Amino acid sequence: MFGFRRSTLARFGVSFPVSRWIVLACWAVVALALTNPTSHAKPVDDDAEAADEMPDETPPKKASSAKAKSAQSKSAKGKSSDDNSKAKTKKPAKTAASAPLRYAFQEGQRYVYEIEITLDLGDDTRTINGHSTYTVKRADDDEIVLEHDGRLISHGKTHAGRSRIDPRHRQALTSFPSSFGGSGELTVSTTGQVVKNTSKEQLPYLLGPVAMLIFEPLSADNLTEWEVSNNVSVEGKGSPKPATGPTARMRSPRMRAASPQPQTPAFVSAATEHATYSRGAGKGDLVKIKKHLEFQSQAASAEIPGMGKVSDGEITFDAKAGVPKKATLREVLQVGAATAPLTVTYRLLSDAEVAKMDKEAADTKAEHEAKVAEEKRPLDDDDVRKLLAELKVTDKRRAAADRLAKGPANDQRDEVAKALGKLLNDREDLTRSVACKALVVWGTADNVPALVKLTETDNVFLRSDAMRALGALKDERGAKAVANVFPEDKHAAGEALKSMGPVAEPYVVPLLEDRDTGVRIDACKILATIGGEKSRAALEALSKKGRGGDAREAEKTLREIASRE
C-alpha cells in the first residue's frame, strides 16, 4: 500500500521522504471520502431534482457535480441510462446548430474560398495565397460532385533573422512550384470522406491535395467528440542539388554535360496521422469545431529526415448551409530536429466579394486582350522611332525590345539592329535575352559576333535565345559557333541549325563522327532537313560502319535527301 501511495504522490510532484503524520492525514481524508454518502451518486437527473429541493443556503456537493458532468458527457456520446425520470425524457429543441453536421453544397452553386498559408523560416517567410473555387455538379443525400479550380501563388520574403531549419533540409521546404491548383473533379461524401479526386496537385508542408484543404471528416453519429487515424505516405521527387562554391558559375556547357549535378533521389516515406475533433456550442447556425492533429513521417535517408507537425485550430461550420465558413490552423512543422511555425487560414467569400473578384478578373482579361491586339498590330515608322528612343531609357528598354520582337521589321532595320546590339553587352542577362529575341526580327550581319559570344554563356536561356537569333541570320560564323555547342545543347542548337538551312550543312557533317551515338543520330536528323550533296559521302560511311541506331538513321537520311533531288 505504501509503495502504491508513494508512486501516486510522486506523480503529482510530492517529494519524499514524507513524515508519518502526513501519511496518516492522507488516510484520514480517504476514509472520510469513503464514508461520505454523496459519493454514491444517483443518476444525473435524480441529482438535479435533489439539488432543486435543497434549501438555497445548502451548496451542492462537488462529488455530485463531477458525476453530473461525466454523465452528461456520456449522454452526448449516445449512451443512455435506465433512469426514467421526468428530466430524462425532455428532448432539447432541435436547432441547426445541434443537428448532425453534414456537407450540403447546393447543386449549380459556386463557392470561392480565399486561402493563405504562411511558413516562418526565421530568415525567410514563405507565403502561398490565392483562391480555391468549387462548382457543384451534383449533390444528393450521400455524396457531392464538385469541379475544383485552384489558383494559388507562392512567394517569399527574406528578412533579418536566423534560419530555423538546417541548411541541408531547407530545399524540402523551399523547392516547389511557384503556383498550385489546377483543375479537376472532386467527389466527397456528406461526412467528408473522399470518393474520387482527379485534381492531384499537392500542397507543400504536409498539407495534402489542394482540393481537399477545406474538407474535414465529420462525425457520422453526430458525436460531440470524434477522432480519425490514417496510415499515409510522404512522397518526394528527385531534384538537382544546387551547385556551390566559387567555381559553380565557371563550368562550361561541355563540363556541365560531362559531369552533371547529382540528383536527389525520389523517395516514399511511411507516415501516420491522428486527428481529434470536438464540437463546441453553436451560435445561430454557426458551429465551432476544434481540431488537433499530429502527423509524423519516417526518415527516408540520411539526407531526407523525418518530417512531422502538430496542429491546433478552429473551423467555423455553417450547419444550416452545410459548408465551412472559415478556419485558422496554427501548426508547428518539424523537419529533422528543427521546427518552424506554420499558419493556414481560409474563408468563404461572400456573394459581393465573388462578384468583385469576377469583375476584376474580367477587366484584367480585357486589358490583356487589348495589349495582345496592340502587339500584333504591325509597327509603323512612328512606332519604331518611339521605341528607338525608349531603348535608351533604362526602365523602358526591355519593354521596347519586347515590342520590337513582335515586328515586323521595316527600312529602319540597321538603326534598330545597332541599338539592340548595344543591349547585348548589358550586365543583366534578362535585358540581353530580350535583345536577342528582338534580333530574330531586326538582326543584321553586324550582330553576329556579339551573338556568337553569347553561345558560350552559362545561362541556358540566354544561350538559347542567342542561337535562335543566329538561326534567323543564316550566317556561316553563327553556324560554326552553334555546331560547336551542339553536343551540350542539342535541342536549341539543332533548331537553330535547321533554321539556317544549307549554310549550316558543312558544320553539321563533322558531327557524324562524334564519339557520342546520340550526337551522331541527331546530326542525321538535322541533315535530313538541310542536307544535300555535301552530306552524302559522310552519311554513306556512317551507314556502313555505324552500329545500331546511327547506321539506320544515316540510311533514312540518305533516302530523305534523295527524295528532295
Parse the chain into domains and list their residue ranges.
2-68, 110-235+266-358, 377-564
CA–CA distance, 113 with 323 (Å, rounded to integer):
11
Q: Is residue 30 within a helix (H) or strand (E), and if so which, with residue range?
A: helix 20-35
Q: 171: pLDDT confidence band, cut at 50, 70 and 90?
A: low
Q: Is residue 347 within a helix (H) or strand (E), and if so which, with residue range?
A: strand 338-348
Q: Would you say residue 5 has pLDDT above 60?
A: no
Report residue 520 as a C-alpha cell: 551522331
Average pLDDT on 139-150 reads 95
Q: Would you say residue 146 has pLDDT above 70?
A: yes
Higher pLDDT, 502 or 16: 502
Q: 165: pLDDT confidence band, cut at 50, 70 and 90?
A: confident
181 Rama class: left (phi>0) / alpha (psi -120 to 50) / beta? left
Q: What is the pLDDT of residues 57-111, one digit of tens each?
A: 434 333 333 333 333 333 333 333 333 333 333 444 455 557 889 999 999 999 9
Asked if residue 92 has a cis previous peptide bond (ω within 30° of 0), the answer is no
Q: Quick one: pLDDT at residue 86?
A: 35
Average pLDDT on 389-414 reads 92
In angstroms, how far apart are the furthest CA atoms of the chain? 118
Question: At a CB cut-off of 8 Å and minimum separation 6, what does 208 contact?
Answer: 202
Q: Would you say residue 149 has pLDDT above 70?
A: yes
Sign of CA dihedral 423, 424, 428, 434: positive
Q: What is the pLDDT of residues 547-565, one digit of tens each?
A: 678 999 999 999 999 998 7
Say if residues 400 and 428 touch (Cβ distance below 8 Å). Answer: no
CA–CA distance, 6 with 240 (Å, rounded to integer):
59
Sign of CA dihedral 45, 47, 50, 52: negative
Least confident of 32-46, 298-312, 456-470, 535-549: 32-46
Tell me the angle at which helices 476-485 and 490-500 cross, rounded to the nearest 10 degrees.
160
Query: What percent of the chain is modeled with pLDDT above 90?
Result: 58
- Going by DSSP bridges, is the β-strand pair 179-189/124-139 parallel, antiparallel, or unpaired? unpaired
CA–CA distance, 207 with 213 (Å, rounded to integer):
7
Q: What angle do CA 526, 529, 530 make, to 5 degrees?
A: 85
Say if residues 514 and 542 touch (Cβ distance below 8 Å). Answer: no
Nearest CA to 98 among 263, 317, 299, 294? 317
Query: What percent of the chain is modeled with pLDDT above 70?
Result: 74
Nearest CA to 122 among 92, 157, 89? 157
CA–CA distance, 466 with 463 (Å, rounded to integer):
5
CA–CA distance, 523 with 520 (Å, rounded to integer):
5
Average pLDDT, whole number, for the chain? 80
Question: At a CB cut-off of 8 Å and minimum separation 6, what does 519 contact?
Answer: 486, 487, 490, 511
CA–CA distance, 130 with 210 (Å, rounded to integer):
11
Q: Give the SS3 label for residue 439.
A: helix
User: What pTM did the predictor assign?
Assistant: 0.57
Average pLDDT on 128-142 reads 95
- CATH assignment of 377-564, given 3.40.1310.30, 1.25.10.10, 3.40.50.2300, 2.40.50.840? 1.25.10.10
Q: Quick one: pLDDT at residue 139?
A: 96
Average pLDDT on 424-452 reads 96
Report residue 237 as a C-alpha cell: 521527387
Least confident of 235-239, 300-304, 311-315: 235-239
Q: Quick one: pLDDT at residue 416?
A: 96
CA torsion angle for 454, 460, 461, 467 (degrees, to 10)?
Answer: 50
Average pLDDT on 407-424 reads 94
What fold does the segment set 110-235+266-358 form as a domain? Answer: Lipovitellin-phosvitin complex; beta-sheet shell regions (2.30.230)
Q: Would you say residue 356 has pLDDT above 80?
A: yes
Question: At a CB cut-off of 8 Å and minimum separation 6, what does 388 contact?
Answer: 400, 412, 415, 416, 419
Q: How much is the CA Rg of the chain, to the nearest whole Å?
A: 36
Q: Quick one: pLDDT at residue 529?
A: 94
Average pLDDT on 302-316 reads 87
Least confident of 23-32, 100-109, 348-357, 524-533: 23-32
Nearest CA to 192 among 101, 310, 318? 101
- DSSP assignment of 70-97 equals HHHHHHHTT---S---HHHH--PPP-TT
Chain position carrying cell 559557333: 481
Say if residues 492 and 464 touch (Cβ distance below 8 Å). Answer: yes
Hey, what amino acid is at 111?
Answer: Y
Q: Which among 171-175, 196-200, 457-461 has the top mean pLDDT?
A: 457-461
Q: 152: pLDDT confidence band, cut at 50, 70 and 90?
A: very high
Average pLDDT on 108-117 reads 97
- For residue 271, list its beta bridge partners: 232, 297
Least confident of 239-243, 272-276, 279-283, 339-343: 239-243
Q: What is the pLDDT of residues 215-264, one digit of tens each?
A: 999 999 999 999 999 887 776 654 445 544 444 444 445 445 444 555 55
CA–CA distance, 151 with 180 (Å, rounded to integer):
6
Q: Give the SS3 label for residue 410.
A: coil
Say if residues 550 and 557 touch (Cβ distance below 8 Å). Answer: no
Q: Would you say residue 546 has pLDDT above 70?
A: no
Give whole-number Cα distances, 523 to 272, 297, 455, in Å. Answer: 52, 49, 19
